[in-house]
Amino acid sequence: MAYLGNEPQFVEYPSKFFSGNNSAMTVTLDYAPPSLASILVFIDGVRQNTSAYTLSGVSLTFTGTVATGSNNVQVVHLGMGVDVGTPPNSSVTAAKFSATGTPSANNFLRGDMAWSGMQPTGASGEQAFYENETQVDNSYSVPASTNAMSAGPVTVASGATVTISSGATWTVI
């Protein structure tokens, strides 16, 4: 069968069976659901309303008696979250990014996922030329106590601003 986009993926919802004992029993779940709406509870195949039980961490307590039976109580967890964790420091490399251009010590990764930077350019290894755009299209602030330099002429587009913070300098040569 053809699909637009990704093919549907199916996962199992963890479930656990318990045996009723004709009492208002408490069972211990393998996972702590975040709310009553995150689990489905069945007794003898009949889904129970959330008013039929209370939840505290991994403890599920029935408010009424549960009929005696072998594995006649089933609890199904819905939408289990998966903690993917945080990658360790220095574990994500440039090769893991889907970006255009070539990473190097002179480049940075822009917000549009393109490697860029102020670097010397020129044919045959000539590195006497630095290039910059001729128009500032997005607002920019030169941080305090830093210097910025552009080769001009440079215009600032309508709606964009260049803010020179206290102790900063922007030189257009």
**Would you state the pLDDT for residue 2?**
63
Per-residue tens of pLDDT for the chain, all 173 residues: 566 777 777 777 889 999 999 998 999 999 899 889 899 999 999 999 999 999 999 999 999 999 999 999 999 998 766 677 888 888 877 677 777 877 777 777 777 777 776 555 556 655 666 778 899 999 999 999 988 888 889 999 999 999 999 999 999 99
Any idea of the CA torsion for 121, 124, 127, 132, to the nearest 10 degrees? -20
Nearest to residue 117, comparing CAs of 105, 99, 135, 129?
Answer: 105
For the chain, domain boundaries: 15-77, 94-121, 132-173
CB 40 within 8 A of CB 76: yes
Report how far apart, in Å, the C-alpha atoms of 1 and of each of 5, 7, 9, 10, 125 are.
Answer: 12, 9, 14, 16, 54
> Which residues touch 130 (CB under 8 Å, ≥6 apart)?
118, 119, 120, 121, 151
User: Considering only CA atoms, which of 92, 109, 91, 90 is closest in space to residue 100?
Assistant: 109
pLDDT tens, residue by residue, 58-71: 999 999 999 999 99
